[in-house]
């Protein structure tokens, strides 16, 4: 990287199979937020994706629509044919594993967790096989890129040669406390899916069986789109929320709980911390990193989750302590800090 690209605005091409316009996958939200932040800083950013443009995005969008089966794998071949010669940086969040010929001065790949690890926890033989295949593409991508980034040290198990860690980022201006009071009734917030590794169904069962008998006024509010129509008493499903409504839910909650069997990072943990909410999680790799192995939150196995939540909802002093700890830890995940780290990485080849 030479000339203006070494110090001035950069031309950045990002690859993401997912975007919030069509997918609830966390990678898409992170790409969208990071691309917006980089665009605010004066960089020219284009996101290449089969998803439609996101309303209000500050970055450019190159739409590469796909239909049919095996789209995640076919998108990699589509990207291989793209002319990226006008860009200073290629920042891939997936599907760059066939791009071994140098196309830009700096090729960065972010590994958002490990598909090998997901294969261990996901249900269904077909899904397990798909995740294993995607895991091999992640390993190949880590060898193709100039610099590879992990989102937490705990995800290094399958790519031990990757040393750079840059966490996912949260827009502090959106999620930070703004004076909104907590709910008048004890409230636990969940953001995820009812099924699979997020284990929303397990949390709803534990809440109804163990938390409500101890704290009868408590409510579990679930930001999920796949919950059944019939729900236990005290459980409310909110569906998909706008960014503003989601931030308001965090600010009003007494505690946040996401009992995933696996997270490479877990953006909702960091969002809750940014809002000053105590975080309760199962000890998956992402939760262990975001809470610093429980120093800034509470980690409990699934069979101990009800007791922990009941204790926390009944103990205002402990909620205050954990809320303050959340705000302290959230500084590490400020989107501005994350963008600073990527800017330094983009220019490290100059």
24 — pLDDT class (breaks 50, 70, 90): confident
**Rounded to whole angstroms, how far apart are CA atoms 172 and 99?**
35
**Rounded to whole angstroms, how far apart are CA atoms 51 and 319?**
40
Instruction: Say if CB 326 and CB 276 are below 8 A apart.
Output: yes
321 — pLDDT class (breaks 50, 70, 90): very high
The yes-or-no verdict on residue 209 having pLDDT over 70 is: yes
Instruction: Say if CB 297 and CB 281 are below 8 A apart.
Output: yes
Degrees, nearest 5: CA angle 11-15-17:
155
* Listed residue (340, 282, 335) closest to 175, CA to CA: 335
Residue predicted with more confidence, 135 or 2: 135
pLDDT given for residue 115 in this prediction: 87
The yes-or-no verdict on residue 146 having pLDDT over 50 is: yes
Q: pLDDT of 162-203, one tens digit each? A: 999 999 999 999 999 999 999 999 999 999 999 889 999 999
Instruction: Mark residue 56 as left, alpha or beta (left: phi above 0; alpha: psi -120 to 50; beta: remaining).
Output: left
pLDDT given for residue 101 in this prediction: 78
346 — pLDDT class (breaks 50, 70, 90): very high
The yes-or-no verdict on residue 75 having pLDDT over 60 is: yes
pLDDT given for residue 4 in this prediction: 58
3 — pLDDT class (breaks 50, 70, 90): very low
Q: pLDDT of 240-295, one tens digit each? A: 899 899 999 999 999 999 999 999 999 999 999 999 999 999 999 999 999 999 99
Output the CA–CA distances (angstroms, integers) from residue 137 to 29, 115, 122, 158, 316, in the order listed: 22, 9, 18, 12, 47
The yes-or-no verdict on residue 2 having pLDDT over 60 is: no
Q: Phi and psi (nearest 5°) for 194? A: -70, -40
Instruction: Say if CB 308 and CB 257 are below 8 A apart.
Output: no
């Amino acid at each position: 990287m030479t000339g203006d690209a070494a110090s001035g605005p950069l031309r950045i091409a990002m690859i993401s199979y997912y975007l919030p316009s069509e997918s609830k996958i966390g990678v898409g939200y992170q790409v969208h937020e990071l691309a917006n932040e980089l665009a605010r800083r004066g960089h020219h950013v284009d996101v290449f994706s089969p998803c439609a443009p996101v309303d209000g995005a500050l970055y450019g969008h190159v739409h590469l629509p796909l239909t049919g089966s095996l789209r995640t794998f076919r998108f990699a071949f589509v990207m291989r044919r793209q002319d990226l010669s006008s860009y200073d940086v290629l920042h891939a969040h997936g599907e760059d594993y066939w791009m071994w010929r140098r196309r830009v001065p700096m090729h960065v790949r972010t590994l958002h967790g490990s598909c090998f690890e997901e294969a261990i926890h996901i249900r269904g033989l077909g899904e397990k096989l798909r995740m294993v295949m995607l895991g091999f593409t992640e390993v190949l991508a880590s060898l193709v890129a100039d610099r590879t980034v992990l989102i937490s040290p705990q995800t290094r198990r399958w790519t031990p040669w990757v040393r750079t860690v840059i966490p996912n980022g949260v827009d502090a201006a959106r999620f930070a406390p703004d004076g909104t009071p907590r709910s008048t009734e004890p409230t636990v917030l969940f953001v995820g899916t009812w099924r699979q590794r997020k284990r929303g169904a397990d949390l709803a069962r534990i809440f109804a069986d163990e938390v409500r008998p101890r704290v009868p006024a408590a409510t579990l509010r679930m930001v999920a789109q796949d919950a059944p129509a019939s729900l236990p008493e005290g459980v409310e499903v909110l569906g998909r929320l706008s960014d503003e409504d989601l931030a308001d839910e965090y600010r009003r909650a007494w505690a946040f709980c996401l009992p995933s069997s696996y997270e490479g990072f877990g953006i909702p943990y960091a969002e809750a911390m940014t809002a000053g909410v105590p975080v309760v999680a199962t000890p998956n790799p992402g939760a262990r990193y975001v809470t610093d192995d429980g120093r800034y939150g509470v980690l409990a196995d699934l069979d101990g989750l009800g007791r922990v939540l009941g204790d926390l909802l009944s103990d205002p002093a402990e909620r205050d302590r954990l809320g303050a700890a959340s705000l302290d830890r959230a500084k590490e995940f400020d989107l501005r800090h994350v963008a600073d780290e990527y800017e330094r990485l983009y220019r490290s080849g100059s």
